[in-house]
Structures are given as structure tokens and as C-alpha cells.
Amino acid sequence: MNARPLMTELRGNLLLDEPMSKHTSWRIGGPADRYYQPADIADLSLFLSQLPENEPVYWLGLGSNLLVRDGGIRGTVIATSGVVDGLEQIDEKTVRAEAGVACAKVARFCARAGLSGAEFLAGIPGTMGGALAMNAGAFGGETWEVITAVETLDQQGQCQHRQPEDFDIAYRHVTGPKGEWFVAAQLQLEPGGEPEVLQARIKALLAKRGDSQPTSLPNAGSVFRNPEGDFAARLIEACGLKGQCEGAACVSDKHANFIINTGGATAYDVETLIERIMQEVEEKQAVQLQREIHIVGEAA
């Protein structure tokens, strides 16, 4: 495929036909037409301003919470992890984190600064951009509980400064101004904490996560949202689905709301297993599970 001409001022890295299996936590996914790693927010703004108005755009952090189908993605993937990753304390209780910073890094940064309230972020296996987009949570905390302001870019590359009231925020669901994407957020936390105590709390939370989740195997995090007053994992386990497989994609024996890639699984395997779980839970438990993961791309 030939690259569409781009302005020479761009400082990022543009790849064509890039296998998404290299960039998703499931290690699954066909090629993206274009895959761009911006140098920073200014470079990202310039890149967006050059895209055709109807260009499909997909945002990627650490590649968790995402299933890319085997046929890949027609459009442009923008990868922010490790590049749009500014992280700074701007006053005694406020931290600014850009979209590509891993949530766990934000948690550790805040703990070292003696700021409490962000420890739960250590349990979210993604970046701040993804956490903002879905109001990700862990250990009883949710992302937007600590957010006081966000910065977004639109597809023309224009920056907007938004407040939480500009968004409809719910459990694992956020909607806001159409055609805008998160590039940074301000977190308001409690100052005066003991760094050693906060770091020990994070360590304990991560140990708990490692004990209860298949963190050593390729997975995408929780596959389904928890229904109100119940747990998706309980419902799946009650249907006898723990350990059940489609191809090389299996329901984890450790946590029934996780699907693991045991080696060579395809997106088709995972999606087939997801549909089977949803069907059996509805038939046997009379509950319609809602996916937490996002499925994008085309079938092979």
C-alpha cells in the first residue's frame, strides 16, 4: 500500500499494514491500514489535521480491553502509549497525566508524591486515555471520581478544555462531545499522605490482583461488565464455563470473566467464545451480559 502524502513537519512514526497482534494484550489482530505513533500532543494535533474528514480513527493505549478482528482495521490507528505520556504535579493536590501514560504509572507517581486517592489505578491494565473513555475502575475506585478537567482533540486537531459536566459518566460508560478524543486529564487527590504507606497499599492491591486474575497469560482484562447487584464471573462460573475453550481461546480457570489466549488463538476464537458465554448465561441465568471489551475491525 502506498502512503498517502503527509506533511514533512510530522515527527511521529507512520507504519503501513501493521499487525495489531503486536500491539494488543490478547496478542491477536489483523493489520491496520495505517498505524501512527505521534511524537507528542502537538504532533498528534498536526497529524489529525491532515487526515481526510471521513477517515476512520481508532485509538490505542496498551491494547487491553480490545479485540481486533483477524481481517484487521481499515483506517488509521493512533497509538499513544509511551509517546503522549507527560506526567507532572501542577500544584499540591493536582496531577496532569496525558493519555498514553499507563494507569499503574500514574498510581505510583501519585504515591511517591504523597497524594492519596489514585492507588486503585494500579489495578487498571491500560492507559489514562482508555480509562477516561470507559470510566475504568478497580478495587472499588473509578477513574472519573478523581478527574477535575480533561483536554481533548477533535479530528481537525483542535484542542478543547472540558469539565466533567460536559460528559455523561456512568459505570464503564462515558459519552461526550462527538468527534473529540481524550489527550490529557487533571486528577485531584488528597495531599499529605505517607509515600511508604501509599506504595505499600499499591503493592498489596497488585498482589491481590495477581492472586485472582490470570495476569501471566495474554488477556484483555474483564470481558463483561458486572450486572447490577451481581458479578459476571459468578454467572459464567455457575454455567460451568470455567476452562471452556473455542480453539485456543479459553475461559480462565482463575477468573471466569477473563478469556486467555493459550497460544495461537484468533479473534474468531475469542468472539465465538464470547457469544457462547452470553448465550449460555442468558439461557441458564436469565441475565443478558454486556461486553466490557471493544471489538473492532473486519473478519478475515
Q: Strands across the sheet with 73-79, in order?
A: 13-19, 31-37, 73-79, 57-60
> Is the domain 232-296 a CATH 3.40.50.11540 member?
no
Res 8 pLDDT > 70: no
Q: Is the pLDDT of residue 2 over 80?
A: no
- Catalytic-residue membership of 21: no
pLDDT tens for 83-128 read 999 999 999 999 999 999 999 999 999 999 999 999 999 999 999 9
| Mean of pLDDT values over 186-197 | 96
The one catalytic residue in 81, 222, 252, 280 is 222
Active-site option among 4, 74, 96, 172: 172
User: For 237-271, b where at least 16 C-beta lie within 10 A, e where not — what string?
Assistant: bebebbebebeebbbbebbbbbbbbeeebbbbbbb
- Give the domain ranges of the chain: 13-79, 87-212, 232-296
Strands 147-154 and 259-261: unpaired
Average pLDDT, the chain: 95
Q: Are 154 and 180 in contact (CB under 8 A)?
A: yes
Question: Which grid cell is 213?
Answer: 486474575
The pLDDT, as a whole number, for residue 3 is 45
Concerning whether 92 is annotated as a catalytic residue, the answer is no
What separation in angstroms does the CA of 263 have from each of 72, 103, 218? 19, 27, 9
Per-residue pLDDT tens digits for 210-264: 889 998 999 999 999 999 999 999 999 999 999 999 999 999 999 999 999 999 9
Q: 139 vs 119, 148, 275, 284, CA distance in Å?
A: 9, 21, 27, 29
pLDDT score of 151 more than 60: yes
User: CATH fold of 13-79, please?
Assistant: 3.30.43
Calculate mean pLDDT across residues 39-46.
96
pLDDT at 295 over 50: yes
Is pLDDT of 181 > 80? yes
Average pLDDT over residues 33-59: 95
Task: Please tell me the distance from the alpha carbon of residue 252 to that of residue 43, in angstroms, as a whole number.
Answer: 40
The residue annotated as part of the active site, out of 98, 142, 246, 292, is 292
**What's the CA gap between 291 and 275, in Å, rounded?**
10
All residues at 6 or more sequence positions from 174 whose CB lies less than 8 Å from its CB, including other chains: 132, 133, 134, 135, 144, 167, 168
Looking at residue 130, its pLDDT comes to 95
pTM beyond 0.85: the answer is yes
pLDDT exceeds cutoff 50 at 1: no
Closest C-alpha among 219, 250, 297 to residue 25: 219
DSSP per-residue letters across 268-289: HHHHHHHHHHHHHHHHHH----
Question: Which fold does the domain 87-212 belong to in CATH?
Answer: 3.30.465
Is 64 one of the annotated active-site residues of the chain?
A: no
Q: What is the pLDDT of residues 61-80, one digit of tens each?
A: 999 999 999 999 999 999 99
Question: Is the predicted pLDDT of residue 208 greater than 60, yes or no?
Answer: yes
